[in-house]
Amino acid sequence: MKAIIYTQYGPPEVLHLSEVEKPTPKDNEILLRIKATAVNSGDVRLRKADPFAVRFIFGLLKPKINILGSVFSGEVESVGKQVKLFKAGDQVFGHIDMRFGAYAEYLCLPEDGSIAMKPGNILHQEAAVIPFGGVTALHFIKKAAIKPGQKVLVIGASGAVGSAAVQLAKAYGALVTGVCSTSNIDLVKSIGADYVIDYTKVDFTQNGERYDVIFDTVNSISVSRSLKSLSKNGTMILSAAGMPEMVQGLWISKTSSRKLLTGVISHAAKDIIFLKELIEAGKMRPVIDRTYDLAQMAEAHAYVEKGHKKGNVAITMDNN
């Protein structure tokens, strides 16, 4: 089968299209024929080994995992003899998390993973881009316990996580303000934001507004500056936080009435199913900036690394 592999950390050019052995499912696994995947910030960071601490988990001198890709949409080709949840021919999508391996034509996954039937009203390349931003935003929004009528500010509202956060907060009944650049205002409005702040013209920390939840999806503004816009008992979400922000957040949570959420996300099949139901109900939609073929993976990574994508970058397989 065809797959994109990398055997050393570095720039996009370390990614190569190669022929590798097609996997065989174990008794509790499904064999998935992947129709589409996506390039996410996590893939880029792992490819570059940035931050350096990545190497202590995924290989000090060279990567232990040679095929990246954490999200997928495709068709079940066969199943192990113990599998009961899926059958050959099922159209599914989901999130692999730290297993990776979706930059390939085929993939084996345990049936109890974060997998669900693909929404019937969208294409495979659209379904593939939903899980990364979707499960990240959903994890934190559930922890923040967002309630109808609350005021939510989403920083980086046009990105993969940000566009999902805007739509999920709206689905929970919040009054949502998105923060983005001038070129992305129409996009953020189109996915349901009640208000949009152009950060190139307005500093939200200076407009006198207070929010029940501030969701910073891009780690673009200091925690201390953002706090002045957070209500007394509000919650700040830092989904892209580094270690300094994590430490600061822990201190704030322990010494004030405000709560700061960060850390590693978790997800399960029920979360993918929840996103599927929102999509089919018309309450959430995929946001795709560009679509590339599998053979163009290095080009796709180079584009994502620039940091200016709108929503997501999808990858389609030649077998699609």
List, for residues 11-35, the tens digit of each pLDDT value. Answer: 999 999 999 999 999 999 999 999 9
Domains in the chain: ranges and CATH: 2-130+267-316 (3.90.180.10), 131-261 (3.40.50.720)
C-alpha–C-alpha distance, residues 226 and 246, integer Å: 15
pLDDT at 77 > cutoff 60: yes
User: If DSSP codes are grouped into helix, strand and coil, which group holds residue 32?
Assistant: strand
89: left (phi over 0), alpha (psi -120 to 50) or beta: left
Q: What is the pLDDT of residue 167?
A: 98
C-alpha–C-alpha distance, residues 309 and 299, integer Å: 13
Average pLDDT over residues 233-260: 81
Q: Which of 239, 228, 253 is nearest to 141 (CA)?
A: 239
Q: What is the pLDDT of residue 131?
A: 97
Q: What is the pLDDT of residue 130?
A: 98
Q: Taking a C-beta distance cutoff of 8 angstroms, is the pair 137, 165 a contact?
A: yes
Residue 254 banded pLDDT, cuts 50, 70, 90? confident
Residue type for position 188: V
List, for residues 50-66, the tens digit of each pLDDT value. Answer: 989 889 999 999 999 99
Q: Taking a C-beta distance cutoff of 8 angstroms, is the pair 35, 319 a contact?
A: yes
Which segment of 59-73, 89-103, 244-258 scores lowest on mean pLDDT? Answer: 244-258
Query: Six-digit token pair at 281?
Result: 């109900």
The sign one gets for the Cα dihedral 187, 193, 195, 197 is negative
pLDDT at 37 > cutoff 60: yes
Beta-strand pair 288-293/230-238: unpaired
Residue type for position 241: A
Average pLDDT over residues 170-178: 98
pLDDT at 178 > cutoff 80: yes
C-alpha–C-alpha distance, residues 201 and 131, integer Å: 32
121: left (phi over 0), alpha (psi -120 to 50) or beta: alpha
Query: Six-digit token pair at 118?
Result: 């693909």
List, for residues 215-241, the tens digit of each pLDDT value. Answer: 999 988 888 888 889 999 999 999 987
Residue 320 banded pLDDT, cuts 50, 70, 90? very low
Per-residue CA distances from 45 to 134, 171, 193, 211, 302 (Å): 19, 30, 29, 31, 12
Query: Six-digit token pair at 7?
Result: 């055997």
Per-residue CA distances from 112 to 28, 83, 140, 282 (Å): 9, 9, 22, 27
Residue-wise burial string across 93-112, b where 16 or more C-beta atoms lie within 10 A, e elsewhere: bbbbbebbbbbbbbbbbebe
Average pLDDT over residues 131-150: 96
> 68: how many CB neighbours lie within 10 A of its CB?
26
